[in-house]
Amino acid sequence: MDQYNVYTTQDFLTDLDFVKSVKYPDHAEARRWAAWRAAQPPNAAAYDEALFYLSGILGLERLVPTQLYADQLYMDIEEGIEKNKRNKKRKVRRLLVYRITAAAVLLCAGLFWYFTSLITVATGNGEIQMVQLPDSSVVQLNANSSIVYRRALMWLDKREVHVTGEALFDVKHLAMHTSLPSSAKTFIAYSGNIAVEVLGTKFNIKNRGQKTIVSLLEGKIALRNVSHPGEVKILEAGDVATYAEHSVPEIEKNAAAVAQASAWVEKNLVATNLSVGELIDEFRYIYGREIVITDTTLLKTRIDGRISLHTAENVIYSLANILQANIRIDQDTVYLDPKKGIAK
């Protein structure tokens, strides 16, 4: 039995032979264990502890309840069943109230989220994306632009959106929706410090740095400078309004410019007396890259015609051809070097 010399208390308690020797002390197995213990093994303390625990457990006697105790227990059970039935009815009513309350809380939370949450759509370099607003108005976003509006746009006092970059709006007229408040029929687009207020129309809004240009293709709009609330300008189809920070807004009738203002939707730029410097600025806004003209006098060169915006390379090669320049590219920067022997 040398293998038992390393047993712990737990090992003894889980050994079936040991358990049998304790349960049946007259059995031969019990005498074998007694002989092993008499030899004073190194783990005798563990054996004694296991023997103590197991003897206590096996020595427990079954308790037999008295008749009086049994009768009282039966009465308590009967009373508990009746009480449980009454409590169950009350619990059903309370549960119904809790469920109604929880449903109301969830409904309020859902409405709060719906009326306060914002939706943001943004484009990256060279990307154009169409966005359909909840009122069925359609917005075309130019590259590196964004629009933010509330999810519950249709049901708010006013339909308001915030734009960065450039966007073409085709606003849905809601005059036929008699169920909506009259103020909800008003559509306001914010860009920079400018607010464009319409009922139903088509216009292009372009924000470049501190300058905002609004071109009206169809209908009529009211322009407000957010910094000067009392300053309102009315635009009609064919008008172009240019707002520069800290300057008087310029409004001109220019049907050609209005038509050209939305050419970007078809990935085109229609240039009329456009300077090379202005084209480079537009390239930077659309593609997030820089074009450097090593001969800065060429920045004032004027361009007329149509330039493809389908890819950044289209613009780069078109400009290099116009300026008769060689192309060098260093990471995200494009250098245009005038070819030698070409007169300026």
Instruction: Look up the CATH number of the domain holding residue 317.
Output: 3.55.50.30
Residue 344 lies in a domain: no
41: three-class secondary structure by DSSP: coil
Residues 313, 225: Cα–Cα separation, whole Å:
38
The C-alpha torsion from 302 through 306 and 308 to 313, rounded to 10°, is -30
Residue 63 lies in a domain: no
List residues bridging with 218 in a β-sheet. Answer: 202
Give strand ranges (E) for the chain. 118-122, 129-132, 138-141, 146-150, 159-164, 166-170, 187-191, 194-198, 202-208, 211-218, 220-225, 228-236, 239-244, 250-253, 268-275, 290-293, 302-308, 325-330, 333-338
Structure confidence by residue, pLDDT tens digits, 172-201: 877 545 444 554 568 999 998 889 998 678
Same domain as 128, residue 169: yes
Same domain as 314, residue 234: no
Please state which of the ranges 134-148, 174-188, 327-341 shows the lowest mean pLDDT. Answer: 174-188
Please state which of the ranges 56-65, 91-100, 209-218 shows the lowest mean pLDDT. Answer: 56-65
Residues 207, 241: Cα–Cα separation, whole Å:
12
Average pLDDT over residues 107-136: 84
Q: What is the DSSP string of 232-249?
A: EEEEETTEEEEEETTS--
Same domain as 182, residue 78: no
Give, as one character, the DSSP assignment of residue 156: S
Q: At 77, is the pLDDT very low, low, confident or very high (cuts 50, 70, 90)?
A: low
Residues 137, 168: Cα–Cα separation, whole Å:
11
Burial 227-250 (b: 16+ CB within 10 A, else e): eeeeeebebebbbbbebeeeeebe
Structure confidence by residue, pLDDT tens digits, 254-295: 888 888 888 999 999 988 889 999 999 999 999 999 999 999
Same domain as 216, residue 143: yes
Average pLDDT over residues 154-164: 86
Same domain as 232, residue 134: yes
State how many domains the chain has.
4
The pLDDT value recorded for residue 325 is 92
Instruction: Look up the CATH number of the domain holding residue 168.
Output: 2.60.120.1440
CA distances from 26 to 14, 22, 48, 50, 154 (A): 21, 9, 18, 19, 92
Residue 143 lies in a domain: yes
Percent of the chain with pLDDT over 90: 34
Q: At 152, is the pLDDT very low, low, confident or very high (cuts 50, 70, 90)?
A: confident
Same domain as 85, residue 141: no
Spatial neighbors of 15 by CB under 8 A, at least 6 apart, are 4, 7
For the chain, the average pLDDT equals 82
Q: At 90, is the pLDDT very low, low, confident or very high (cuts 50, 70, 90)?
A: low
**The tokens 């090669």 sit on which residue?**
317
CB 177 within 8 A of CB 185: yes
Identify the domain boundary among 236, 261, 286: 261
Same domain as 148, residue 132: yes
Query: Which of 4, 119, 182 is closest to 17 using CA atoms?
Result: 4
Identify the domain boundary among 261, 283, 307: 261
302: three-class secondary structure by DSSP: strand
Structure confidence by residue, pLDDT tens digits, 9-48: 878 877 878 887 887 787 788 888 888 888 888 888 888 8
Same domain as 333, residue 318: yes
Same domain as 10, residue 47: yes
Residue 343 lies in a domain: no
Same domain as 277, residue 172: no
* End-to-end Cα, the chain, rounded Å: 109
Q: At 151, is the pLDDT very low, low, confident or very high (cuts 50, 70, 90)?
A: confident
Same domain as 323, residue 280: yes
Residue 83 belongs to domain spanning: 68-116
Identify the domain boundary among 58, 87, 106: 58
100: three-class secondary structure by DSSP: helix
Q: What is the DSSP string of 167-234?
A: EEEEPPP-TT-TTS-GGGG-EEEEETTEEEEESS-EEEEEEETTEEEEEEEESEEEEEETTEEEEEEE
295: three-class secondary structure by DSSP: coil
Same domain as 140, residue 101: no
The pLDDT value recorded for residue 254 is 86
Instruction: Specify the amino acid at residue 307.
Output: I
The pLDDT value recorded for residue 62 is 45
331: three-class secondary structure by DSSP: coil
